[in-house]
Structure 1
Amino acid sequence: MLTQDSETIVALATPHGRGGIAVIRVSGSNIQRIATQLLGHVPKKRYAEYLSFLSEDGSTIDEGLVLYFPAPNSFTGEDVLELQGHGGPVIVDCLLKRVMQLGARLARPGEFTERAFLNSKLDLVQAEAISDLIDAESEQAARAAMRSLQGDFSQHINQMREILIDLRTWLEAAIDFADENIDFLKDTEIVNKLHSILADIQKIRNLAKQGTLLKEGLSLAIVGPPNSGKSSLLNKLSAQESSIVTSFAGTTRDVIREKIQIEGLLLNVVDTAGLRITADEIEKEGIKRTLAEIVKADLILWVVDHATISTGDSKFWKEQQSFLKDFFNDKRIIIIRNKIDLKQEKASIDKEMDFDVIKLSAKTGEGLTLLFNHLKKCVGYTISPEGNFSARRRHLEALTQTEIALTNGLKKLKENQFSELLAEDLSIAQNYLGEITGQFTTNDLLGKIFSSFCIGK
Structure 2
Amino acid sequence: MNLTDTIAAISSPVGQGMKGIVRLSGSRAITIVAGLIVNPKSESPKTGQVAIVIPPDNVIVKADILISRAPHTYTCEDMVEIHTFGSRPLLNMVLEAVVFCGARLAEPGEFTMRAFLNGRVDLAQAEAVMEVINSSSESQLHSGMRKLKGEFSNEIKIVEGELINLCADVEASIDFIEEDISIVSKSDIVRRSKSILGRLSSILYKSRLQNVEQELPTVLLFGPTNSGKSTIFNRLIPDGDAITSEVAGTTRDIISGLLQIDDLCIRLLDSVGILGTQILPYAPQLVLNREAVAITRSVLDTDVILLIVDVCELGNWRKLIDEISGRNYIVVINKIDKIGSDMARKMAEEDNLADCIFISALKGDGINCLKERVRDAVSLHRDIGSHFTLSSRQHTNLTKAVAILRQMVNSNYDSIEFIAFDLRCCLDLVGGITGRIMTDDILSRIFERFCIGK
Q: Same fold (TM over 0.5)?
A: yes
- Taking every aligned residue pair, what percent have the same amino acid on both sides? 30
Q: Secondary structure at the match of 2:206?
A: helix
Picking from 214, 217, 221, the partner of 2:212 is 217
After superposition, the C-alpha distances for 1:392-425 in whole angstroms (9 at most, x for unaligned) are 122111112112222233244xx25122221111
Structure 2 Cα separation of the partners of residues 333 and 373 of structure 1: 10
Whether contact under 8 Å (1:31, 1:81) holds in the other structure is yes
Distance 1:5 1:164 in 2: 32
| Structure 2 letter corresponding to 1:217 | V
Per-residue CA distance 1:34-77 (angstroms, 9 max, x = gap): 02211235556xx6322222234795532222122233332122
| Conserved 8 A contact 2:109-2:448 | yes
1:20 and 1:368 map into 2 onto residues whose CA distance is 49
1:441 deviates by: 2.2
What is the aligned partner in structure 2 of residue 306 from structure 1? none
Q: Would the aligned equivalents of 2:176 and 2:182 in 1 still touch at CA under 8 Å?
A: no
The residue identity in structure 2 corresponding to 1:122 is V
The 1:121/1:410 distance shift into structure 2, 3 A limit, reads: same
- 1:216 is matched by which residue type in structure 2? N
Partner of 2:266: 373
**Cα separation, 2, equivalents of 1:89 and 1:61:** 16
Give the secondary-structure state (helix, strand or coil) at the position aligned to 1:373.
Answer: strand
* RMSD over aligned Cα atoms: 3.3
* Structure 1 residue 443, shift from structure 2 partner: 2.6
> Which residues of 2 match residues 271-350 of structure 1 at below 5 A?
330-334=253-257
2:185 corresponds in structure 1 to: 186
Q: Aligned partners of 2:437 and 2:426: how far apart in 1?
A: 12
Alpha-carbon distance, 1:121 to partner? 1.7
Change (3 A) 1:416 1:389: closer
Partner of residue 16 from structure 2, selected from 15, 18, 33: 18
CA–CA distance in structure 2, aligned partners of residues 150 and 42 of structure 1: 37
Q: Does structure 1 retain, via aligned residues, the 8 Å contact 2:23–2:80?
A: yes
Partner residue of 1:131?
Answer: 130
1:61, 1:95 within 8 Å by CA — same for their partners in 2? no
Separation in 2, partners of 1:154, 1:60: 47
**Structure 1 residues 16 and 43: alpha-carbon distance in aligned structure 2, compared to 1, 3 A threshold:** farther
Q: Which residue of 2 aligns with 1:280?
A: none
SS in 1 for 2:35: helix
1:94 alignment partner in structure 2 = 93
**Structure 1 unaligned blocks of 5 or more:** 220-260, 266-309, 312-316, 318-327, 337-348, 350-357, 359-366
Cα offset, 1:102, TM superposition: 0.8
| Structure 1 residue matching 2:389: 3-state secondary structure | coil
Could you tell me how far 1:431 is from its partner in structure 2? Answer: 0.3
Judged with a 3 Å threshold, the aligned counterparts in structure 2 of structure 1 residues 70 and 376 are, in CA distance, closer, same or farther, namely farther
Q: Residue 148 of structure 1: CA displacement? A: 0.8
Pick one of 392, 412, 417 that aligns with 2:414: 417
Distance 1:134 1:149 in 2: 12
Amino acid at match of 1:193: R
The 1:111/1:416 distance shift into structure 2, 3 A limit, reads: closer
Shift in Å, 1:331? 4.5
> Which residue, out of 432, 436, 444, partners 2:433?
436
> Under a length normalisation based on structure 1, what TM-score does the superposition of the two structures give?
0.62
For the residues of structure 2 that align with 1:96 and 1:376, how far apart are their CA atoms?
A: 53
TM-superposed deviation, 1:386: 5.5
Match of 1:77 in 2: 76
Letter matched to residue 194 of structure 1: S
User: Which letter maps to 2:77?
Assistant: E
Q: How far apart are 1:143 and its partner, in Å? A: 0.7
State the shift of 1:136 in Å.
0.6
* Unmatched 5+ stretches in structure 2: 219-237, 242-250, 271-298, 304-380
Deviation at 1:12, TM superposition (A): 1.1
Q: Aligned partners of 2:97 and 2:414: how far apart in 1?
A: 67
CA distance in 1, matches of 2:49, 2:420: 60
Match of 2:446 among 430, 444, 449: 449
- Structure 1 match to 2:402: 403
Aligned match for 1:29, one of 15, 27, 30? 27
DSSP-derived class of the 2:390 partner: coil
Following TM superposition, the consecutive aligned residue runs of length 4 or more in structure 1 with deviations greater than 4 angstroms are 41-44, 57-60, 178-183, 367-370, 375-379
1:160 deviates by 0.7
Q: 3-state SS of the aligned residue for 2:450?
A: coil
What is the Cα deviation at residue 7 of structure 1? 2.4
Query: In 2, Cα distance between the equivalents of 1:132 and 1:453?
Result: 10
Compared with structure 1, are the counterparts of its residues 30 and 376 closer, same or farther at alpha carbon in structure 2 (3 Å cutoff)?
Answer: farther
Give per-residue Cα distances to partners, 1:202-222, cap 9 Å, x unaligned: 1011123x2x2xx42329xxx
Name the residue aligned to 1:427.
424
1:224-239 correspondence runs (5 A): none
Q: Identify if the C-alpha distance between structure 1 residues 166 and 136 changes in structure 2 by more than 3 Å, giving closer, same or farther.
A: same
Task: Check conservation: 2:413, 2:419, Cα contact below 8 A.
Answer: no
Residues 424, 416 of structure 1: alpha-carbon distance in 2 compared, 3 angstrom cutoff:
closer
Residue 4 (structure 1) shift: 8.6
Provide closer, same or farther for how the CA distance between residues 389 and 189 of structure 1 changes in structure 2, counting only shifts above 3 A.
Answer: same
Residue 329 to residue 34, structure 1, CA distance change in 2 (3 Å): same
C-alpha change, 1:57 and 1:201, in structure 2 (3 Å) is: closer
Deviation at 1:177, TM superposition (A): 2.9
- Contact preservation (8 Å) 1:402, 1:432: yes
Relative to 1, partners in 2 of residues 1:189 and 1:81: Cα closer, same or farther, differing over 3 Å?
same
- 2:186 is matched by which residue type in structure 1? D
Name the CA shift for 1:124/1:5 in 2 (closer, same or farther; >3 Å). closer
Following superposition, the deviation at residue 26 of structure 1 comes to 0.8
TM-score, scaled relative to structure 2: 0.62
